[in-house]
Amino acid sequence: MAKVVTFGEVMLRLSTPGYLRFAQARQFDATFGGGEANVAVSLANYGVDAHFVTRLPKNDIAQMCISELRGLGVDTSGIVYGGERIGIYYLETGAVARGSKVVYDRAHSAVSDIKPGMVDWKKVLDGADWFHWTGITPALSQGAADACLEAIKTANEMGVKVSCDLNYRKKLWQYGKTAAEVMPALVEGCDLILGNEEDAEKEFGIKPEGFDAEKTGGEIDQTRFESVCRQLMERFPRCKKVAITLRGSINANHNTWGGVLFDGKTLWQSRRYDITHIVDRVGGGDSFMGGLLYGLLTYGTDQEAIEFAAAASALKHTIIGDYNRVTTAEVEALMKGGGSGRVSR
C-alpha cells in the first residue's frame, strides 16, 4: 500500500444552511476542512495509507476534528500539539449569478504559529511515497513557510516525491511577504505541480495567452494551457509533471470541469464534465489532486491518471462539505461513461 503524507491547516468550517446569506443565518452547519486534509481524506477513501500532519491545540474542538479524520481513515499520528485555537472559516454558498463567499477567522491559529523543528519530518516521512503541500500553508506565516520548506527539503533528501497545489489565496498573504517572494524556493523541490491559470499568473507571472476565466462561458480550449505547463517546467527543472484544472464558470451552480496533465512531451486531456447543479464546489481542486495522486500511483498511463482525477472531482461537486466522500468504484464508473444518476439497488 502506498503511503502519502500531507501537511497544512485544517479548520472548523461553519456554513450557512442551504443558500442562506450570512445576514439571514441563525445557525451554522459545523464540519472541518482544509486543502491538505481534504487530499488525505480522498486518498484514504481509495485505500491509500494517508497521513495528515498539522499543529492543533489540545481542546475539545481539535479532538472533534481529529476524531472525524480518523473516522475517515486518515492517520493523524504525526499531528503535533500547541497553540490556543483551531482556525475557522465561514462559508456562504452562492447560487446562479451570486458567487459563494468565504470569511476567514484563522489569525494566530495553532498551525500559523508553527516553527521549524516542531515536526520530526524524518520520522513522519519514513516509508512515504509522496509528500503533498499547498500554497495555502506558506501564506499563513513565515514560520509555516519555513516549516513547509523544511519538510520539502527532508523529502528531497529521503527520495520522497513531492507534490504541490499552488492554491493562491490573496486574502491570506498578510505577514509582509508576497507569494511571488516565498513560493519559488518551495516549488523548486517539487516533482509534480498542480494549479490553475490564476495560480500560475499571481505567483510566477505565467499565463496562457488570450485567456480570461470570466469570459469562457464554460468553453475552454485545453490546448491553450500547454504553454503554461512548459513555462512551469522550465522555471522549475525538478518538476516532471504539471497538471492544470480547467473550470468554465457559467454561473455559481453550473460549471464545466476538467484538466490536463503535461509530462514534458505530451499534453494529456481529460474528459470535460458539464456540472449543471453544483451542490458544493469547495474542495473541488483538492479532490482533483487526491484523484491525480491515486491515479499516478495506481494506473499505467497518464491518460488514466488525469481521467480519474477529473471524474473524482466532478463527483465532489455533488457532495456537501470539504471532503470528497466517494469510492474508487464510483469514480471508475464515471470514468467509463456512467453518470446517469440512476438508483443503485
Catalytic machinery residues: 286
Phi, psi dihedrals of residue 206, rounded to the nearest 5°: -105, 130
Cell 523544511 locates to 150
Q: Among 268, 170, 179, 185, which residue's Cα sits nearest to residue 222?
A: 268
The length of the chain is: 345
Q: In the chain, where does DSSP find H-type helix?
A: 35-45, 60-71, 121-124, 136-140, 142-158, 179-187, 197-204, 226-235, 284-298, 302-316, 328-335
Neighbours of 68 (CB within 10 A): 18
* Cα 307 to Cα 120, 171, 208, 262, 292, distances in angstroms: 35, 32, 22, 13, 8
Q: N- to C-terminal Cα distance for the chain?
A: 31
Helix, strand, coil in percent for the chain, rounding step 5: 35, 20, 40
Scored b (16 or more CB within 10 A) or e, 117-140 reads ebbebeebbeebbbbbbbbbbbbb
Residue 185 is placed in which grid cell? 524556493
Q: Is 136 helix (H, G, I), strand (E, B) or coil?
A: helix
For 163, counting Cβ atoms within 10 Å of its Cβ (0-12 exposed, 13-18 middle, 19+ buried), the class is buried
11-15, strands of its sheet edge to edge:
29-33, 11-15, 88-92, 101-105
Sign of torsion over alpha carbons 250, 256, 262, 267 = negative
